Amino acid sequence: MVAGTFNAFPVDAATGAAVTDPVFANGAAASVSMLFILFAIILGLVLKKTGKINEVLKGVIAVALIVVMFAIGMNLPIYASKSVWIGIIMVYLFLASVLPMWLLMQPRDYMTTYMLLGMILGAVVGIIVAHPSMQLNAFNGFALTGADGSTSYLFPTLFVTIACGAVSGFHSLVSSGTSSKTISNEKDMPMVGYGAMVVESLLGIVALVVVGAVAVNGTKPDGTPFSIFSSGVAGFLEMLGVPNTVATVFMTMCVSALALTSLDSVARIGRMSFQELFYDDTTDPEKMDGLHKVLTNKYFATIITLFFGWLLTLGGYNNIWPLFGSANQLLAAMVLIALAVFLKTTGRTGWTLYVPMFAMLAVTFTALVQKTVALVRNVANGSATFLVDGLQLIVAILLMILGALVAYHCLSKLFTAKKEEA
């Protein structure tokens, strides 16, 4: 999706042919993104060499760098195809996975924060000023029939669709793997963790309003989620006096930045998780045999992680995307169970986690069972394809097996073990 956003030669929906005149907004946003990476490294080096800088001054520097990057990007757009951008993004993800946090990801995310806050603030003000009418129905029933004839139900679909601003397993991985390395004091975590979820909930509401405002005849317009959101908010910003070209480039850059910050985080987390699978009694490479040295090598683990991501770019993310919500929320349930066990074995109170824990288990397993039944039905009637239905069926079954195993062992520990057995 990011490569598609940067693609200066997208396919014309009407003719099916690539456009001959490059799209300026995509090229400019791509240029700004590349500058973000370069400037982030420079900022990281400066902060490392100079020590701690006053937060106000650091914020001013970050905003100034963003303005400079946009000025350069608007005048020097990069025009490249989607396939080229996939390769470039893969190289970036490799670097983000293996380089120190302070050198690339932390300064990049720091600058991105100001840009995204500007996007959210502009979108909220734009919505208030424009005061658009919702073009989507508030309620279409508990059961909906899709264009392909499939039926989905409000429960559990709603609860595995609303993720990031409510409860998200992916965010638990980010918090433990990357965010923790940017926190100097544990007391800052409630503001960082809870505050981020509140802001993300606001972004989710803004996205819902934007889609509802630009919908046509009760359905969302054509295009990717990125393009729909970008064009919608750009229209609101234009009402505030922002030139259309500037607003479009800014929004295109913002939504791609949101995705890039997720991609680099998940690349790093994927690498770390892969390494942890093969750690035995020691993490010291000098005490490992040859095979474990290779499997726990961060460069090898990163290549393996990105390889599977690259395969998805060939087959299309839609092949497994329908299972993303269930996988994400199942992971959240697993985290809640693990936290409840941890609190009990350390002699602390964890009963407040029980209700959301069991609710998430019920929601995610219901969604996975429904999806599995639908996939099996497609296989039975001969309408299934391996790359779509077959791959989803394999992933769905694996998720249910792994989820059941983790839930069984953790719940057994939670309700049978004594504190002293920790």
Residue at a domain's end among 312, 337, 363: 312
Q: What's the confidence (pLDDT) of residue 15?
A: 63
Residues 265 and 345 in one domain: no
- The better pLDDT of the pair 52, 112 is held by 112
Say yes or no to pLDDT of 421 above 70.
Answer: no
Residues 387 and 244 in one domain: no
Q: What's the confidence (pLDDT) of residue 300?
A: 96
Q: What's the confidence (pLDDT) of residue 65?
A: 92
Residue at a domain's end among 312, 347, 366: 312
pTM over 0.85: no
Stretch 108-115: mean pLDDT: 90
Residues 248 and 331 in one domain: no
Q: What's the confidence (pLDDT) of residue 302?
A: 96
Nearest-CA neighbor of 241 among 122, 134, 128?
A: 122
* pLDDT band of 100, cuts 50, 70, 90: very high
Q: What's the confidence (pLDDT) of residue 271?
A: 93
The span from the CA of 274 to the CA of 301, in Å, is: 6
Q: What's the confidence (pLDDT) of residue 274?
A: 93
Residues 192 and 293 in one domain: yes
Q: What's the confidence (pLDDT) of residue 388?
A: 75
Q: Quick check: is 116 in a domain? A: yes
> What pLDDT, in 10s, does the model give residues 244-293?
888 888 888 888 888 888 889 889 999 998 999 898 888 888 888 888 89
Say yes or no to pLDDT of 347 above 90.
Answer: no
**Cα 350 from chain centroid?**
29
Residues 280 and 341 in one domain: no
> What pLDDT, in 10s, does the model give residues 199-223?
888 888 888 898 888 888 778 777 7
Stretch 121-140: mean pLDDT: 86
Residues 278 and 330 in one domain: no
What the block records as the tokens of 92 is: 């970036």
> What pLDDT, in 10s, does the model give residues 4-50?
888 888 876 556 666 678 888 889 989 999 999 999 999 999 888 88
CA distances from 300 to 211, 313, 421 (A): 41, 20, 37
Residues 182 and 86 in one domain: yes
* Close Cβ partners of 301 (under 8 Å, ≥ 6 residues apart): 270, 271, 272, 274, 275, 295
Per the structure, the count of domains in the chain is 2
Percent with pLDDT over 70 in the chain: 95
What is the average pLDDT value for the chain, to the nearest integer? 85
Residues 304 and 326 in one domain: no
Percent with pLDDT over 90 in the chain: 21
Q: What's the confidence (pLDDT) of residue 190?
A: 83
Nearest-CA neighbor of 267 among 313, 301, 317, 315?
A: 301
Residues 203 and 95 in one domain: yes
The span from the CA of 207 to the CA of 161, in Å, is: 13
Residue at a domain's end among 312, 338, 358: 312
Say yes or no to pLDDT of 93 above 70.
Answer: yes
Q: What's the confidence (pLDDT) of residue 303?
A: 96
Say yes or no to pLDDT of 420 above 50.
Answer: no
- Of the segments 31-40, 126-135, 163-172, which one has the largest average pLDDT value? 31-40
Nearest-CA neighbor of 135 among 239, 226, 211, 227?
A: 211
Residue 274: domain span: 2-135+168-312
Q: What's the confidence (pLDDT) of residue 141?
A: 85
Q: Quick check: is 155 in a domain? A: no
Q: Quick check: is 353 in a domain? A: yes
Say yes or no to pLDDT of 422 above 50.
Answer: no
Stretch 361-375: mean pLDDT: 89
Contact predicate 88/2, CB 8 Å: no
* pLDDT band of 148, cuts 50, 70, 90: low
Residues 22 and 50 in one domain: yes
Say yes or no to pLDDT of 126 above 70.
Answer: yes
* pLDDT band of 85, cuts 50, 70, 90: very high
